[in-house]
Structure 1
Amino acid sequence: MNPTRRRFLAGLSVLAVAPVLAACGSDSEGGTAGSGSSSPAASGGPEEGAFPVTIKHKYGETTIEKAPERVVCLGLTDQDTLMALGVVPVGITYWFGDEKLQGVYPWAQDYLGDAELPTVLKDTNGVELEKVASLAPDLIIGAYSGLTEQDYKKLSGLGVPVVAQNGDYADYGTPWEEAALMLGTAIGQPKAAQELIDGAKQLIADGAATHPEFKGQTAAVATPYEGLFLYGPEDPRSRLLTDLGFDLHSLITDADDSEFGVSVSAERASDLGDVGVAVWFDLASVKQVDTLFQGTTAGKEGRWMDISEADGSFYVAHSFVTPLSIPYTLERYLPMLAAAADGDPKTEVPSPAA
């Protein structure tokens, strides 16, 4: 899968992000540079013995000598962990959702403190090198990203530490726990980051324990894009489902090279007829896929939900999967999954409160 297509599919469906792509062509700068100041929730700065630290990534190793103060995030969700640890980045990479929020969504807004909102970067045409340089960063990091080797080399030419995504996984496929730990380590707070991770993992475990009916049922996250695209086992959204007890549907697991996801023809929507729960992005946007799935057993039994832009911040939170977004997501997602998983068409899947 080419990097551009993978970057696109890390988001949602083509119809869902079309307005976003149009916005990316505008001349708006999206905000002013953040001050790099800490929020009131700051953990107290770098931990003893945290520096220097060397971090391995897809393109080698990067050594960070001291605690950074001006961090630029190239990862699509990296800002959440940094803000939870008291570091507001000076630049974030826009993904989707309300651009006016400048990457600080409802689940993270309490951590902004008195810092300025980050400058918004856009990577639809590659990394904005000059804009990154203008922010005078002392750390550039892309934990949840698909940074290319060419862009990595260009950024390294700025003379500051650059940390790319984990090379052990598909681009945009680094587990949220590992991305969070990488980010915490880069700013000298690995223990604090691990505490954040443990807290979010406990919430997921509690959710699974509260809903034992999830265990053994199959699930799939899918969107009508160029036929039908199903998110694979390395995608954070799929991982959240398996962490809650579900197994991924065989349409995903039986495919070759399905780590990031599987592309099949629209007609294969009928193959999801035996799924325990189908989590759709914008199902109604493509009539053929919608009609085929609705005619299946799973469709008739109400074993599905359709997450769309109308769901507001939940639309974004469900895809972020970070220590900050997970509590926000689970509060809304668990009742939806439970309603869909019971197989009773009379049980209405609740709408998430945006």
Structure 2
Amino acid sequence: MSLTPLLRPARPRPTGLHLAGLVLVAGALAACGSDDASGTDATAAGTAAGATTEPDAFPVTLEHKYGETTFTAAPERVVVVGLQEQDTLIDLGIVPVGVTYWFGEEDAINPWAEAALPEGAEPPTVLQATDGIPVEQVAALRPDLIIGEYSSMTEQEYEQLSQLAPVLAQSGEYADYAMPWQEMALKIGQAVGQEEAITARIEEVEEQFAEAAADHPEFADATVALVTPYEGLFVYGPDDPRARLLEDLGFDTRTSTLFDDQASFGGSLSPERAADLENLDLTVWYDRTAEAGVADVYEGTDQFAEGRFVNISDDDGAYYVAHSFTNTLALPYVLERYVPQLAAAIDGDPTTVVEVEE
């Protein structure tokens, strides 16, 4: 599997989109759609059948990177232009009409979300964002809400999408893709009129983290880095959502000198710096053996000899994918597998083996 989904490097931006033409296309599509009430609109309304709008939920105004958006009613046709927000919507009983493919299942509905799907829900249209947000395809889905928190949505894209429907963009308080999962979930819940419901789910998941941390006092303040071989040794910064998961379990991701001069998302170091990992209590790897130069250096460390590492790779199937989906549906699925791995690694006994359930 390509490392691109895990590292999320800057992607090429869309070209050739003209706002005026886009608005005309969107208007024509909307006009055509209004003549066929028994078609796609009826199907879309069914996708939100399990959702219950809370009293006094609207209007609500939410701030984001490009200003603020006011949401006035519960949506029926949600399009997700971020990479993982469909899980939070499904957790609230809403199946979007459009989702953006990242990695994992081709329909963008992964195993941890399947059980939460409302019965009889129509599968969403899957969008590809290799050249930026496909705004014209979004317009064709006639959305009444567009969500792009876990994204690198540009201001131009935001302006274009705002001509189609209210847009919930990423926060301006964090780097792109670094928004905490709790804040992403809360704003989605508010935008769809289910703040109380999503708050309850956030608290449930946070309690699972708290219980895991309490059950494993050996995690407390143990130093750890989350890394992968990519242009040398790529170190995920402490503000990356996946690194924050380790903090939530009690680990310390912030004292390592590996993070000197690193951006909040992270950055690449020379392969030789893999030797510095042995100064930490634990290392969590994505695809540890992907680059021979990095693997050779690391395999010469005491940390490697003592088995004080976790490796999550493509061989782990859905778990490998889920580890990057930080939301209320994916996180319980991850914790069930991740916590035993971490406990086995930090005991310093290389003979301890944990079978990862797919």
Does structure 1 residue 138 correspond to structure 2 residue 144? yes
Q: Given that residues 251 and 271 in structure 1 are in contact (C-alpha distance below 8 angstroms), is that contact kept between their aligned partners in structure 2?
A: no
Q: Shift in Å at residue 344 of structure 1?
A: 1.3
Q: Conserved in 1, the CA contact under 8 Å of 2:5 and 2:102?
A: no
1:90 aligned to which of 65, 90, 97? 97
Partner residue of 1:47 out of 47, 54, 59:
54
Q: Is the CA contact 1:143–1:182 (under 8 Å) kept in the aligned structure 2?
A: no
- 1:176 matched to 2:181? The reply is yes
SS of residue in 1 equivalent to 2:351: coil
| Corresponding pairs, count | 324
State how far apart, in whole Å, the 2-side matches of 1:328 and 1:343 are: 25
Deviation at 1:207, TM superposition (A): 0.5
In 2, Cα distance between equivalents of 1:252 and 1:98: 37
- Provide the rounded CA distance (Å) in 1 between the counterparts of 2:291 and 2:262: 26
- Structure 1 pair 13–165 and aligned structure 2 pair: CA distance change class (3 A): closer
User: Is 1:279–1:305's contact at 8 Å kept on the other side of the alignment?
Assistant: yes
Which amino acid in 2 is paired with 1:37? G
For residues 193 and 145 of structure 1, what CA distance do their matches in structure 2 show? Answer: 21
SS in 2 for 1:111: coil
Cα distance, 1:114 vs. partner? Answer: 1.1
CA distance in 2 between counterparts of 1:167 and 1:155 reads: 18
| Equivalent in the alignment of 1:79 | 86
Shift of 1:13: 9.1
Deviations 1:220-273 (A, max 9, x none): 111111111111122111000010010016446742353111321111111101
Q: Is 2:6 the counterpart of 1:11?
A: yes
Distance 1:191 1:72 in 2: 22
SS of 1:284's equivalent? coil
CA–CA separation in structure 1 for the residues paired with 2:346 and 2:7: 23
Residue 35 in structure 1 maps to residue 44 in structure 2? yes
Partner of 2:142, secondary structure, is coil
Q: 2:169 aligns with which of 164, 169, 172?
A: 164
Q: What TM-score results when the alignment is normalised by the length of structure 2? A: 0.86
* Structure 1 residue runs without a partner (length 5+): 1-7, 15-31
Alpha carbons 1:37, 1:87 under 8 Å: kept: no
- Write the letter of the residue equivalent to 2:71: I
Structure 1 residues 105 and 254, CA gap change in structure 2 (3 angstroms): closer
> How far did 1:37 drift?
2.6
What is residue 67 of structure 2 aligned with on the other side? 60
- SS of 2:95's equivalent? coil
**Equivalent position of 2:37 in the other structure:** none
After superposition, the CA RMSD in angstroms is 2.0
Letter in 1 for 2:300: G
Q: Which residue of 2 aligns with 1:302?
A: 307
* Matched ranges for 1:1-354 at <5 A: 11-12=6-7, 35-38=44-47, 42=50, 44-99=51-106, 102-112=107-117, 113-158=119-164, 160-248=165-253, 250-251=255-256, 254-348=259-353, 350-354=354-358
**Counterpart contact for 1:80–1:324, Cα < 8 Å:** yes
- Superposition deviation, residue 346 in structure 1: 2.0
4+ runs of 1 displaced by more than 3 Å? 249-254
Deviations 1:93-139 (A, max 9, x none): 1111121xx11111111222211111111111111111101111000
- Report the CA distance shift for 1:154/1:39 in structure 2 as closer, same or farther (over 3 A): closer
2:78–2:145: 8 Å Cα contact kept in structure 1? yes
Amino acid at match of 1:75: G
Partners of 1:10 and 1:55 in 2: how far apart?
Answer: 28
Partner Cα separation in structure 1 for residue 229 and residue 68 of structure 2:
38
SS where residue 46 of structure 2 aligns? Answer: coil
TM-score by length of 1: 0.87
Secondary structure of the residue aligned to 2:115 is helix
- Give the residue type in structure 2 aligned to 1:241: L
Query: 1:341 & 1:135 partners in 2: Cα distance?
Result: 48
Check 1:54–1:13 CA distance in 2 against 1; reply closer, same or farther (3 A cut). Answer: closer
CA distance in 2: counterparts of 1:58 and 1:243, whole angstroms: 26
Q: Is 2:238–2:254's contact at 8 Å kept on the other side of the alignment?
A: no
Looking at structure 2, the residues matched to 337 and 9 of structure 1 have their Cα atoms a distance apart, in angstroms, of 25
Q: Distance in 2 between matches of 1:190 and 1:13?
A: 29
Do the aligned residues in 2 keep the contact of 1:36 with 1:87 (CA within 8 Å)? no
Q: Deviations over 1:251-298 (max 9, x none)?
A: 467423531113211111111012222111111111111111111111
Percentage identity across paired residues of the two chains: 51
Letter in 1 for 2:141: L
Deviation at 1:38, TM superposition (A): 3.9
Shift in CA distance, 10/97, structure 1 to aligned 2, threshold 3 Å: closer
Q: Distance in 1 between matches of 2:304 and 2:335?
A: 23
TM-aligned CA deviation for residue 351 of structure 1: 3.2
SS in structure 1 at match of 2:285: strand
- The equivalent residue for 2:35 is none
| 8 A Cα contact 1:252 1:261, kept in partner | no
| d(CA) in 2 for partners of 1:254, 1:267 | 15
